[in-house]
Structure 1
Amino acid sequence: MDLPPLIQSFVLHFGEMGSRWGINRTVGQIYALLFVSPQPLNADEITDKLGVSRSNVSMGLKELIAWRLVRLQHRPGDRRDYFSAPDDVWTIFKTLAEERQRREVEPTLSMLRDALLETPSSPEEQYAQARMRQMYELMELMTEWFAEVRKLSPATLERLMTLGAKVQKLLEARDRLRLLPSRGKPGARIEEELP
């Protein structure tokens, strides 16, 4: 690799992590290089910097474009394609989550829906179907939550994530308030007034 030590360490780590995330090591390295590059790079520059074959770089770039993690750009008077990663890390996070949902969650939900429509023919299948229903309900709840999160602005999403355990305390306080009688309405519960 023809990279400064700090960048090389980052690129190598992303290559290792990429193989654990189910992508090719070179794809992880290409993405890491583009992520830290101050300007877009063409395939030849990526090949030289990473010391990998041009065909691996071409295939890796195609995969990253399919994941919507790399932008293709052109420069006036230059026939080569240039590539860059999105600047905003929240955009990258949302894109990754959307693509994983489309590629992994939606097919699993579809399979579970089909399985839940089947009529079990044995106690073993009844048990299995009940477990599948639990999985389906959890995944559906997560899908709905993610749809709401995607609507948030990056600033709001960052604030939400930094709340951490404070959200749990807020929900616990809300649950305690629901059990208290409401003032002015004998016998009524505060839960009618809470979201």
Structure 2
Amino acid sequence: MTEITDSAVQLPIAVQQFVLHWGEMGGQWGVNRSVAQIHALLYLSDRPLNAEEISDTLRIARSNTSNSLKELLGWKLIRRVPVMGDRRDHYEAEVDLMQMLTRIAQGRKEREIDPAVAALRVCTEEAKRDAAISDTARSRIVAMQDFVVTIDDWYQQMMSVPPGRLMTLIRLGKKILAFLPKGKSE
């Protein structure tokens, strides 16, 4: 049964809008809306919150809050923190944006890129042995594997760049092209 209380905390309008928008974006990225809203609330909170406060503030069931907190802990986007005089678990969000980006990227890589690399490796090996497959299909499977492995390699390289330098690289954007040799399509 959904347990909603009437003791919801009134959030400032900007915080409400941020939490709602983050929840909508989460849904578009394949993340449960409640998970994204809890993350947004904790990110903007100036103090750790317990599950009851989160549930009351967002007006969501405590069971939903509990499951969402477990997911956020799994992504390492939040952490449990002790609060003096209170035995309940309290939570705070990672607020370093580069750390947050890195953890999200790592989680997505583990859930999406790594399985794709493994599956494409198997498909490529099978395509090499299968005489019935067309040259077109075989070459496209190999091309897809090469592309995904290149993206995976690029990710690994970027994660080894110190955060400050990575931010500089990001800010450079397409200006970095000035340092690269001209390609065939230019």
TM-score using structure 2 length: 0.88
Partner AA of 1:109 in structure 2: V
The answer to whether structure 1 residue 64 and structure 2 residue 72 are counterparts is yes
Structure with more contact order per residue of length (Cα contacts < 8 Å, sep ≥ 6): 2
Partner AA of 1:99 in structure 2: G
Partner AA of 1:120 in structure 2: D
The answer to whether structure 1 residue 14 and structure 2 residue 14 are counterparts is no
Q: How far did 1:113 drift?
A: 0.5
Structure 1 residue runs of 5 or longer lacking an equivalent are 176-195
Q: How far did 1:61 drift?
A: 0.4
CA deviations on 1:73-106 (whole Å, 9 max, x unpaired) are 1223321111111121000001110110011100
Q: Which residue of 1 aligns with 2:137?
A: 128
Structure 2 residue runs of 5 or longer lacking an equivalent are 1-7
Aligned length: 173
Counting only pairs closer than 5 Å after superposition, residues 1-195 of structure 1 correspond to structure 2 as: 2-118=10-126, 119-124=129-134, 126-172=135-181
**Residues in 2 aligned to 1:34 and 1:93: alpha-carbon distance in whole angstroms:** 16
Q: How far did 1:48 drift?
A: 1.1
CA deviations on 1:157-193 (whole Å, 9 max, x unpaired) are 11111111221111137x8xxxxxxxxxxxxxxxxxx
Structure with the greater alpha carbon radius of gyration: 1
Partner AA of 1:78 in structure 2: D
Q: How far did 1:127 drift?
A: 2.6
**Residues in 1 aligned to 2:28 and 2:62: alpha-carbon distance in whole angstroms:** 23
**Residues in 2 aligned to 1:150 and 1:157: alpha-carbon distance in whole angstroms:** 8
**Residues in 1 aligned to 2:98 and 2:169: alpha-carbon distance in whole angstroms:** 13
After TM superposition, where is structure 1 displaced by more than 3 Å over at least 4 residues in a row? Answer: none
Percent of pairs identical after alignment? 39
Q: Is the 8 A contact 1:120 1:129 kept in 2?
A: no
Q: Which residue of 2 aligns with 1:188?
A: none
TM-score using structure 1 length: 0.84
